[in-house]
Amino acid sequence: MRRRGALLATVALLAWAGATGSASAGTATIAIPGKYFAPARSTAVAGDTVTFRNNDLVVHNVRIAGGVFESGPIARFTSWSQQIAQPGGYPFVCTLHAFMGGYLDVVAATLAAGPDGVIAGEPLTLSGRTAAGTAHVGIEQSVAGGEWIAVGDGAAPGADGSFAATVPAVEGASYRVNTPAGPGQVVTPRITAQVDVHLEVERGWLHVHTMPATTGLIATLQLYSRWHYRWRSVAGMRLDGHGGAMFRLPAARRTYARVVLRRNAGGPALVRSRVVNLRSGRPARDPDAIAPAMPGGHGH
């Protein structure tokens, strides 16, 4: 009786410790469809409520060693819930079926980065969720395993703890969120340091190749107007799965061409190719460098 009373007291203490901001906390569900847990490994945010749902025909229970929590019998087609306040690793078992086990990873904050394959210097969005009621989280960056340093202004999470922040992408960098409960998950997004755009004129077509092969960006073909001394955009298409594109060239080719890469239509230029002379098909000097003082000489 004393042991059961101590366990109940521990459970009550855990629930109380996570009570602040718990009104909007999340819920993680772990099913028991048979003599196993699904999923066997889960991630939750500190302050979340974890629900074990018994969908089996027999009774099960859930226990974490050391008296962190113990459900008691969970009858078939019923569930049992527990709020977890502290980040950490929680391996759990069903003591009625010793071969049944799982692992709950409770973190101070989850984190994801996007877009995938961002180019160095481009805005990188970091989003995730921390404990409900958290007033502010900081963003930290570590390059090539070096010291963690703060970047940007961080973010003010919403009522449910969700947040988003934007920082410049840095090649080889990992990112994490710093919360009052400690650092959260670490992400190492795929960041391309430099994208080279190669142009090739062949039989009325302009072939575009990116190195390394970069997908998802929009390639815009620009032709140089000799009358207005400026570049004008004439066509655009999204790079294919090999990081390439093809543009049909105009019949009159006494001009220059270049290609600009953007994340989306109308967005800022991320990469510009070298200039090619459409008449000869060879690389040419950028007209902007020849007549920088002309109206519109720097293009856009």
Does 214 map to a domain? Answer: yes
Helices (H) then strands (E): counts for the chain: 2, 26
Does 300 map to a domain? Answer: no
The enclosing domain of 17 has a CATH number of: 2.60.40.420
Domain boundary among 78, 107, 136: 107
pLDDT band at 77 (very low <50, low <70, confident <90, very high): very high
206-240: burial string, b at 16+ Cβ within 10 Å, e else: bebbbeeebeebbbbbbbbeeeebbbeeeebeebe
- Tokens standing for 130? 């921390």
Residue 249 CB neighbours (<10 A)? 19
- 134 neighbors 102 (Cβ within 8 angstroms): no
Does 242 map to a domain? Answer: yes
Does 295 map to a domain? Answer: no
Is the pLDDT higher at 228 or at 237?
237
pLDDT at 297: 44
Indicate if 93 and 131 belong to the same structural domain: no
Q: Is the pLDDT of residue 295 over 70?
A: no
Q: Residue 248 burial by CB count (10 A; 0-12/13-18/19+): exposed, middle or buried?
A: exposed
Q: Is the pLDDT of residue 299 over 60?
A: no
pLDDT at 121: 86
The tens digit of pLDDT for each residue in 57-76 reads: 999 999 987 777 899 999 99
Is the pLDDT higher at 182 or at 250?
182
Indicate if 102 and 144 belong to the same structural domain: no
Domain boundary among 60, 83, 107: 107
The tens digit of pLDDT for each residue in 80-98 reads: 999 999 999 999 999 999 9
Q: Is the pLDDT of residue 10 over 80?
A: no
What are the φ/ψ torsions at residue 270 (nearest 5 degrees)? -95, -40
The enclosing domain of 213 has a CATH number of: 2.60.40
Range of the domain at 74: 2-107
Reference 45, options 152, 150, 177, 141; nearest CA is: 177
Indicate if 83 and 119 belong to the same structural domain: no
* Mean pLDDT over each residue of the chain, to the nearest integer: 87
- Rounded Cα–Cα distance for residues 9 and 2 (Å): 10
Does 133 map to a domain? Answer: yes
Does 296 map to a domain? Answer: no
- Rounded Cα–Cα distance for residues 15 and 265 (Å): 49
Residue 94 CB neighbours (<10 A)? 23
Domain boundary among 150, 168, 191: 191
pLDDT at 293: 45
**Which ranges in the chain belong to alpha helices (H)?**
2-17, 287-290
pTM of the complete model:
0.69
The tens digit of pLDDT for each residue in 153-211 reads: 999 999 999 999 999 999 999 999 999 999 999 999 989 888 899 999 998 999 999 99
Reference 220, options 256, 176, 273; nearest CA is: 273
Indicate if 210 and 187 belong to the same structural domain: no
Indicate if 28 and 53 belong to the same structural domain: yes
Indicate if 66 and 93 belong to the same structural domain: yes
Q: Is the pLDDT of residue 15 over 50?
A: no
Stretch 245-250: mean pLDDT, rounded?
A: 93
How many separate domains does the chain show? Answer: 3
Indicate if 146 and 169 belong to the same structural domain: yes
- 157 neighbors 137 (Cβ within 8 angstroms): yes
Indicate if 96 and 78 belong to the same structural domain: yes
pLDDT at 261: 94
Indicate if 205 and 230 belong to the same structural domain: yes
- Rounded Cα–Cα distance for residues 106 and 16 (Å): 17
Stretch 103-123: mean pLDDT, rounded?
A: 92
Reference 25, options 117, 131, 124; nearest CA is: 131
Supply the DSSP string of 263-293, one letter for each residue.
Answer: SSTTSPEEEEPPPEETTT-SB---HHHH-TT
| Angle formed at CA 142 by CA 139 and CA 143, multiple of 5 degrees | 135
- Tokens standing for 88? 């950490």
Indicate if 170 and 182 belong to the same structural domain: yes
Does 299 map to a domain? Answer: no
Indicate if 7 and 80 belong to the same structural domain: yes
Indicate if 90 and 131 belong to the same structural domain: no
pLDDT at 25: 65
Query: Would you call the peptide bond into 212 cis, given omega within 30 degrees of 0 as the criterion?
Result: yes
Q: Is 35 helix (H, G, I), strand (E, B) or coil?
A: coil
Task: Give the residue carrying structure tokens 């961002």.
Answer: 118
